[in-house]
Chains A and B, each alone.
Chain A
Amino acid sequence: MPEEKGASLWNFVKPDKFELPTEPAGKKAHSFLQKLFSGFIGKDDENGMEAVQSELKNAPGSLVDWLAPYPDWKKAAAAMADLLSPWLEDENPEGNFRVFVAPYGSGLAEMLQKLAENAGWPILVAPDYQALKSRDFNWLDTIPEKSDLPLVILKLEAFFLRHYNGLEHLRKLVSKLFRSRQRCVVGCGSWLWQYLDSAMHIRDSFNRFYFLQSLSAQDLQQLFCSLESSRSFRPTVFRQADNGGFVLPPELTGKGRLESAMVKADSSSAAFPSAFMKKLAVESRGVPLVAWSIWRNSLKLAPDEDVADMAREVADKDAAAAEKAKTIWVKAFKDVDLPTMPSDIGQAGAFLLLFLLQHDGLKTDMIFDLLNFGKDQLIGLLNRLQKAGIIVNENDVWRASWQGYPAVRRFLAEQDHLQDAM
């Protein structure tokens, strides 16, 4: 199936090909037994490095931005373009829609934005909130006339409200685009996709849709090395704080300029992807920004490290290839502080989180409008969840934090709420 081929890291696959990163069964049993007998078994593999770990200091934001900058999505956009090219070249294509579905925290809208910018495709502007809340469908008249260039909908969430008038706007939009036979590339979050599929069988309206394949431990390793290499000019050795093991292959960092024979020799005997990456892939469900956010949170510096020096060296473009690679310590995965769900947030909390995921974030007034709970209760919930790091407020938009997403997903699963398929 030529349409399914993409770049090595970013793959868009048919739903039946979608796979989550998994922990081998043997490892699961081992970690279960380890938890069970943690009080009896000595921690042999820590080599007395607990003290070192406790003394490590947080890497400052500016340094973390050099070591793990925000992805630029170029390769993902290129993978999308590759996938779409047979459809675009076909004069009589099967269906005028191509839909990309990705879990929360995948950067899907940014990928599509990049794709549209690169190809010069028009982007459909979403109606405002008041229009979506009403039965005023005039905004549909502003959809451009049919053209040869595909129309891009960055995120379907912007055209949706879980409001009694919200679904009709989507139905009319899909119907209008279907009638016009205008080629359309649509991005949709997995949570909204699952909801729309349950509520209005949207998969029947969009004949071809692709899921963003989750990133495996190997993919995450490749992603973090490429992110580090995109800005850092000095090879960096990422070592796990509790055992000193390599977390990323050092020869792939710092634009591949590693010269230290000792580090090379050490790393050649290490196994990659590391245990940290495997655990990260499982915990993050292979979601790029969730993994990226946890990764940034786990980076530490040695206590005697001069932060300013370190930042300067990493950013020094003219530095000679480093004889002595810089060391960044990575917390053991079990020690990474991830947000946990506050107790007793109850059903209102579950609904709030579900709505935030399905809308890819909501403004405060919209939350008050859409959820039939008292404003004081909702304010209390927002404050508690924000304090716990489960949600964040950015530009007056509340959304689930990327690091909190695994906890949110587990919580909603326990409450038997509608789950996404990714």
Chain B
Amino acid sequence: MANPIPEQIFRDFEQIPFLYIFVLLLAALVLSGLVRRLIPALARLLPPRFSYYLLPMIPIFRLLITGVTLLLLVPTVVEPTMQNFIAFFGAVGLAIGFAFKDFASSLIAGIIAVYEQPYRVGDRVTINGIYGEVQAINLRSLKLTTPDDDVVTIPHNCIWNGSIYNSNDGCREQQCSTLFYLNPEHDPELVRQILQDVALTSPYTQFSRTVRVSLKELPWATQYRIRAYPVDGRDAFIYISDLTSRGKAALSAAGLKFAAGSSLTVAVPPDA
């Protein structure tokens, strides 16, 4: 009986098909790049509502491409036996567990985020107090563009413990809230009607949702809040600016006085 030859995990150097690996990696990179460019291009060609279905597919496609590439790649480097795979992935897992704990955590969170969808490409979210539009979902992190045009990279593992405020949750619409503070001495019905008309006559307003104006008495002012939806949620800040500037003009023209400290307008999540 011959002595069992200890099984080696990796293939011999000369057995490894480097050209195949190179081509495979190149193909994966090209495919991934194509997905990143073609899907947004397609979304731009189609009516805007389709972008909310198309853009979230980017990370799913990229995850699939990465997974398939890995599945094809590993057997070219590792001897394809069950023990070897267990040993290989065990070792990789252990190394990652110790050395790249946070990295691995973000990777796994990224996979979960793709399926759970707390955010999708195109969503307007607030994560760790940062508000912005999700521009890209990569394997480890997502990229937000803030209203100031800053790009913020946030690792996916924020989903483990943090709260994520999603203003539109995959829909095109997003409620916008615009606040005005007026000197308390005025006719509230007149103000409500003026602010209602400010929203109703804005070109941005979406009419499938109701425009509401509510008021709250504060010790130093009467607060009015317009709650309305723009046609495209991406215009939230332009819409709020439009309502603010036209609202101020309308109230001033009607002879109404703002509270000391002027008017304030803020965008708040729908549930605030």
Chain B residues with CB under 8 A of A415: 47-48, 231
- List chain B residues, Cβ under 8 A from A347: 232, 235
| Cα-based distance from A165 to B231 in the complex (angstroms) | 22
Question: What 1/0 mask marks residues of chain A from 335 to 357 whose CB sits below 8 Å from any chain B CB?
Answer: 00000000000010001001100
Quick one: which of A163, A164, A200, A372 has the most chain B CB within 10 A? A164
Within 8 A of B (CB), among A127-177: 134-135, 162-168
CB distance from A411 to the nearest CB of B (A): 10
Whether a CB of chain B sits under 8 angstroms from the CB of A414 is yes
Whether A5 is near chain B, meaning CB under 8 Å from some CB there, is: no
| A165 to B250 CA separation, bound complex (whole angstroms) | 8
B242 within 8 A of A: yes
Pairwise interchain contact B231-A416, C-beta atoms closer than 8 A: yes
A198 at the interface (CB under 8 A from B): yes
A163 to B201, CA, bound (A): 6
Residues of B within 8 A of A417 (CB): 231
Would you give the shortest CB distance from B265 to chain A, in whole angstroms?
A: 15
* Contact yes or no, B197 A168, CB < 8 A: yes
A165-195, CB < 8 A from B: 165-168, 195
Report whether B242 and A372 are in contact in the complex, using a CB–CB cutoff of 8 Å: yes
Give the B interface residue count (CB, 8 A). 23
Closest beta carbon of chain A to B86's beta carbon, Å = 53
Contact (Cβ within 8 A) B253 A135? yes
- Answer whether A416 and B201 are a contact pair too, CB < 8 Å, given A135-B254, A164-B194: no
CB within 8 Å of A: which B211-270 residues: 231-232, 235, 242, 245-247, 249-250, 253-254
Contact assessment for A351 and B203 in the assembled complex, using a CB-CB cutoff below 8 Å: yes
Interfacial residues of chain B within 129-176, with CB under 8 A of chain A in the complex: 172
A164 touches B48 (CB 8 A): no
Q: Taking CB as reference atom, which chain B residue is nearest A351?
A: B203
Question: A135, A164, A354, A418: which contacts B201 (Cβ < 8 A)?
Answer: A164
A168 touches B193 (CB 8 A): yes
Interface centre among A163, A347, A351 (most CB of B within 10 A): A347
Asked if B253 contacts A165 (CB within 8 A), the reply is: yes
Nearest residue, chain A, Cβ from B205 = A199
Residues of A within 8 A of B253 (CB): 134-135, 165
Q: Does the CB pair A200–B200 fall under 8 Å? A: yes
Question: Once the chains bind, are A416 and B48 in contact (CB under 8 Å)?
Answer: yes
B198 touches A164 (CB 8 A): yes
Residues of B within 8 A of A162 (CB): 201, 203
A372 in contact with B246 (CB, 8 Å): yes
**CB interface residues, B 33-79, toward A, < 8 Å:** 47-49
Is there an interface contact between B197 and A167, defined as CB atoms closer than 8 Å? yes
Q: Closest CB of chain A to B239's CB: distance in Å? A: 11
The contact of A371 among B197, B203, B245, by CB within 8 Å, is B203
- Determine if B207 is an interface residue (Cβ-Cβ < 8 Å): yes
Q: Which residues of B does A touch, CB under 8 Å?
A: 47-49, 172, 193-194, 197-198, 200-201, 203, 207, 231-232, 235, 242, 245-247, 249-250, 253-254
10 A/B residue pairs, CB under 8 Å, sorted by A: A135-B254, A164-B197, A165-B197, A168-B193, A195-B207, A347-B232, A371-B203, A414-B47, A415-B48, A416-B231
A-B pairs with the 10 shortest C-beta distances? A198-B207, A164-B250, A351-B203, A199-B200, A414-B47, A164-B198, A162-B201, A167-B197, A164-B197, A164-B201
